[in-house]
Amino acid sequence: MIRPVDMDAFRYLGQPALLARRFSVRVARRPARKQGCGPGAGGAENAVTVWTVAPELPGSPVAAALWRAYCTEVSDRWYLLHEGRRTDPAELEREIAAESGADLVPPHGRLLIARYGGEAAGSAGIRLLGGATAEPTRVFLYRGMRGRGGAVLLVRAAEEVARTSGAIRLILDTRGDLVEARALYARLGFTETEPHHDEPTAEHWFARQLGRADGRVG
């Protein structure tokens, strides 16, 4: 069970002085059984792990490592599907270097990093495109961190950053083979739309209307 994150805290994400501020949600795990013969043996211990989501600069070591892992997995999946091989190392390095993350730094956007029990787990970015439109990007979790609710937490946090920055509509795209991403966005209320650009690797386009920061529907 994931307890609701305090989204009011995200109202402060646009303030550089609070860049390092962390927001948390407690995740209750299955209780462990006590061992031994003493008092309480055989009983259950309450084990709680905390998800935290915080803004971070794209050039930080943690953000760079997540970006590399994201690029590697997404690129390798495409090449394994279409050509039966992994990405050429030189090409992978070019892909990683091609995105500096400058569009994920205020006032253009924001990058969020999720940690699970203090360990870096995943990322989500939001690009502010103008015209009250924003685009989620770099939504990613390390393989070992999946299935624990982190993806939903990251997307919802990114949505709140977009909303408090004035966006009332989100758009995004993904590939057909990234079925997990498509399922996640559909579950979170995104609907498929007509293409909004001609990027050759995009195969599915999604959009979602956001309520305004003042509570009104956009």
pLDDT tens digits, one per residue of 84-138: 999 999 999 999 999 999 999 999 999 999 999 999 999 999 999 988 999 999 9
Residue 62 has pLDDT above 70, yes or no: yes
The predicted pLDDT at position 213 comes to 56
Q: Which of 25-34, 49-58, 62-71, 112-121 has the lowest mean pLDDT?
A: 25-34
pLDDT given for residue 196 in this prediction: 87
Q: Is the pLDDT of residue 23 over 80?
A: no
Considering the chain, what is the average pLDDT of its residues? 82
Confidence of residue 200 (pLDDT cuts 50, 70, 90): confident
- CA distances to 52, 97, 161, 206 from 15, rounded to whole Å, are 18, 28, 12, 29
Question: What pLDDT score was predicted for residue 216?
Answer: 56
Higher pLDDT, 150 or 36: 150
Supply the pTM of this predicted model: 0.79
Q: Would you say residue 207 has pLDDT above 90? A: yes
